[in-house]
Amino acid sequence: MDKVRPSAADAISDLPAGASVAVGGFGLCGIPSDLIRAVHGAGVDGLRVVSNNCGVDDWGLGILLRDRRIERMTSSYVGENKEFARQYLSGELEVELVPQGTLAERLRAGGCGIPAFFTPAGGGTMIAEGGLPWRYDSTGGVAVASPAKEVRTFGDREYVLEEAIVTDFALVRAAKGDRHGNLVFDKTAMNFNPLCAMAGKVTVAEVEELVEPGELDPEQVHLPGIFVQRVVVVTDSEKRIERRTVREAQ
């Protein structure tokens, strides 16, 4: 039951090229930065990443994107990453943009064994009708577009069928965890982390504080260890702010 690995590099050592990976975080809040750097250091490429966004140009998933390690992104927004936008618009990166709530539910459904679900989000738009650019060609034309989705009417509203997401690996970060993989997140750093953890076939959690089994109050556990296969203790706790806005001192 002891799921602790000696290092981030060891914890992701069997992550293969071309793998699908769910990565927790929102902006730069709660991102598994140690594990991302370990993936970068391992030289793995061709990755198909599912994450709310793609970090910034020099931090988080942005370092994998910068060095062309990511082949496809499934995200809710481009955010503050200029290289993300550049690669997408120039046809170097395939991007599936998904409504944020839908992305969260697709990850949760994958973890719960629910293959698909109907949602009103995206009804009457290109989300349902298809044609959203997933990949551009070198001339700015659409090389790959999203397919049309099944739409059904329940009551007086249209609902769109969305498929669950299950990934080969998931990388998440928690404030505290025990050797069995039970995790506690700190406030808004929870964000997409539990959902990504649920969606991964192999989930690796980096934790800021490691405790022994039984030390966590069961009522305070945000994610049970059944969803976590490996735990690694964070060695660098640097946390960056995506965009700092301040006012002049009065």
Quick: pLDDT tens for 59-106. 999 999 999 999 999 999 887 789 999 999 999 999 999 999 999 999
What pLDDT score was predicted for residue 15? Answer: 98
Q: What is the predicted pLDDT for the residue at 2?
A: 97
pLDDT score of 81: 87
Q: Is the pLDDT of residue 246 over 90?
A: no
The predicted structure's pLDDT at residue 178:
98
**Lowest-confidence range among 145-154, 217-226, 228-237?**
228-237
115 pLDDT higher than 80: yes
Residue 237 has pLDDT above 80, yes or no: no
The pLDDT score that the predictor gives to residue 78 is 85
Residue scoring higher pLDDT (40 or 56): 40
Residue 170, pLDDT score: 98
Find out whether 121 and 157 touch, Cβ atoms under 8 Å.
no
Q: What is residue 182's predicted lDDT score, i.e. its pLDDT?
A: 98
Residues 6+ apart with CB under 8 A from 97: 75, 76, 77, 132
Per-residue pLDDT of 14-40, as tens digits, reads: 999 999 999 999 999 999 999 999 999
Question: What mean pLDDT value characterizes the chain?
Answer: 95
Task: List, as one string, the DSSP characters of 83-148.
Answer: HHHHHHHTTSSEEEE--HHHHHHHHHHHHHT--EEEESTTTTSHHHH---EEEE-TTS-EEEEPPP
> Average pLDDT of 118-123?
97
% of the chain surpassing 70 pLDDT: 100
pLDDT value at residue 58: 86
Q: What residues contact 214, with CB distance under 8 A and at least 6 apart?
A: 178
> What is residue 250's predicted lDDT score, i.e. its pLDDT?
82
Q: What is the pLDDT of residues 148-194, one digit of tens each?
A: 999 999 999 999 999 999 999 999 999 999 999 999 999 999 999 99
- What CATH number does the domain located at 8-115+185-206+223-233 have? 3.40.1080.10
